[in-house]
């Protein structure tokens, strides 16, 4: 079913009904430990709607072939579907040119691509990369590797006790040797939604490009990279109802054209001799080898699905449910929220006094509630708040108030069992 037909059926202006939406996700009907599944681990990975599952199955069963190089019918059909997905992503995030959409293995792959290719061309000894204290490891480690290789320095914007960036410190850290700012749109550990417009503007006033890690944003609110004026934007398919193994790097065309290839091999070349090779224009310059074709096709159908539901309706639902979850959790004695920014999105992290987060997560799981306990690949955040780990409940458009109530009941069960 097309996005237009789905939208017409649901009503363009109607309020999102998560109970109805759940019918699109087969896994949400199962039971865990004899309890109905309550899935609150969406920041790690989202479940898949039937439309995406069917699209991937149809590719493998009806027109599977490699893309771009074949002249036969199956290859033509596969290529058409693969490139259609690129156009869908372009429209979905507001890119001006489909050639600005590079398929990667995920957010991690996209950030590493920039660290390698942009870093090779534009970062040298004594230069600086500026990131923040709230980053996922995927937006820390690649820059550490680049700085070690290039002799550059990695600098950090601190966060306050609410989990918000200290913009005065950001402004002070932007300097004549800053070559790139890289930061998250929404913190996976805190839920903080960063004020991207002034952050991008301040960097551009100093001629510094900006990379945004959008992994925790694209499934929750409308994204417009042209309006943000960011230079790079990275995200993963599996966090927006698409398959694993597929992701996207958006890059302004004029910057991508200046970057050397990240990987060498088939498809990314114009010509190869034993002496030298010449390379294709972006995005194909950065897509060496056989891509994740099924993943890209699935990503395209995930875009269709999100657009059929309506990003404005999803954002309104997620914000309302986050507010409800926050209020319910604040009622629990001994519970401390980690991350209390004024502007948050779909994530609540917490600790229970004298009970390890891993124990909390284990007991809650026995109640059928899936949350995540650990450092969430954000160890500097844990260090900032002086905790070894947190319990994280993360919401999606198919979650309900009943899901939140089940989480709260599970926490009370933890207190009852573990004291």
Domains of the chain: 3-49+310-411 (3.90.1150.10), 54-307 (3.40.640.10)
User: Can you list the pairs that 267-275 forms with residues at least 24 positions away whose Cβ atoms lie under 8 Å?
Assistant: 267/68, 267/69
- pLDDT mean over 248-261: 97
Quick: pLDDT tens for 151-166.
999 999 999 999 999 9
For residue 31, is pLDDT > 50?
A: yes
In this prediction, residue 9 has a pLDDT band, given cuts at 50, 70 and 90, of very low
Tell me, rounded to whole angstroms, the distance of Cα 415 from its chain centroid: 33
Quick: pLDDT tens for 46-77.
999 999 999 999 999 999 999 998 889 999 99
For residue 167, is pLDDT > 80?
A: yes
Residue from 147, 230, 377, 397 carrying the catalytic annotation: 377
Q: Are 282 and 98 in contact, with CB atoms under 8 Å apart?
A: no
Q: What integer pLDDT is reported at residue 13 of this predicted model?
A: 52
For residue 125, is pLDDT > 60?
A: yes
For residue 11, is pLDDT > 70?
A: no
Average per-residue pLDDT for the chain: 95
Q: What integer pLDDT is reported at residue 138 of this predicted model?
A: 98
Q: What integer pLDDT is reported at residue 70 of this predicted model?
A: 80
- pLDDT mean over 330-341: 97
Q: What integer pLDDT is reported at residue 14 of this predicted model?
A: 81
In terms of residues, how long is the chain? 419
Q: How large is the greatest C-alpha to C-alpha distance in the chain, in angstroms?
A: 71
Q: Are 244 and 232 in contact, with CB atoms under 8 Å apart?
A: no
- Quote the pTM value: 0.95
Q: Are 351 and 390 in contact, with CB atoms under 8 Å apart?
A: yes
Q: Are 353 and 343 in contact, with CB atoms under 8 Å apart?
A: no
Residue 351's closest CA among 363, 336, 365, 369? 336
Other CB atoms within a 10 A radius of the CB of residue 104 amount to 26
Is residue 147 flagged as an active site residue?
Answer: no
Quick: pLDDT tens for 299-324.
999 999 999 999 999 999 999 999 99
Give residue 352's region: left, alpha or beta (phi > 0; psi -120 to 50): beta
For residue 419, is pLDDT > 90?
A: no
For residue 1, is pLDDT > 90?
A: no
């Amino acid at each position: 079913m097309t996005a237009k037909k789905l939208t017409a059926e649901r009503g363009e202006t109607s309020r999102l009904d998560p109970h109805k939406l759940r019918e699109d996700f087969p896994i949400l009907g199962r039971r865990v430990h004899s309890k109905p599944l309550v899935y609150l681990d969406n920041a790690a990975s989202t479940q898949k709607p039937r439309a995406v599952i069917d699209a991937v199955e149809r590719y493998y069963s009806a027109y599977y072939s490699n893309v771009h190089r074949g002249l036969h019918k199956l290859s033509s059909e596969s290529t058409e579907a693969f490139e259609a997905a690129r156009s869908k992503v372009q429209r979905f995030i507001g890119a001006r040119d489909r050639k600005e959409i590079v398929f990667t293995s995920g957010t991690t792959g996209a950030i590493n691509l920039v660290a390698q290719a942009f870093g090779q061309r534009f970062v040298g000894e004594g230069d600086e990369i500026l990131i923040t204290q709230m980053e996922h490891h995927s937006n820390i480690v690649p820059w550490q590797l680049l700085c070690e290789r290039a002799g550059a320095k990695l600098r950090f914007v601190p966060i306050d006790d609410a989990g918000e960036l200290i913009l005065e410190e950001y402004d002070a850290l932007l300097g004549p040797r800053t070559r790139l700012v890289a930061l998250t749109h929404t913190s996976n550990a805190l839920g903080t939604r960063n004020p991207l417009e002034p952050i991008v503007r301040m960097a551009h006033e100093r001629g510094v490009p900006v990379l945004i890690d959008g992994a925790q944003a694209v499934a929750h609110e409308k994204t417009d990279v042209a309006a943000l004026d960011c230079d790079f934007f990275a995200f993963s398919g599996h966090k927006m109802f698409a398959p694993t193994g597929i992701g996207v790097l958006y890059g302004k065309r004029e910057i991508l054209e200046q970057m050397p290839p990240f990987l060498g091999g088939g498809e990314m070349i114009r010509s190869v001799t034993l002496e030298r090779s010449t390379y294709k224009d972006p995005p194909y310059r950065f897509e060496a080898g056989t891509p994740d074709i099924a993943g890209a096709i699935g990503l395209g159908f995930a875009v269709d699905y999100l657009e059929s539901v309506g990003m404005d309706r999803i954002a309104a639902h997620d914000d309302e449910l986050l507010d409800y979850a926050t209020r319910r959790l604040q009622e629990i004695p001994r519970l401390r929220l980690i991350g209390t920014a004024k502007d948050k999105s779909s994530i609540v992290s917490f600790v229970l006094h004298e009970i390890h987060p891993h124990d909390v997560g284990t007991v809650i799981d026995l109640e059928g509630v899936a949350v995540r306990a650990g450092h969430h690949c954000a160890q500097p955040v844990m260090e900032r708040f002086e905790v070894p780990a947190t319990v994280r409940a993360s919401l999606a458009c198919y979650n309900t108030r009943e899901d939140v109530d089940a989480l709260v009941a599970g926490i009370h069960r933890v207190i009852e069992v573990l004291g």
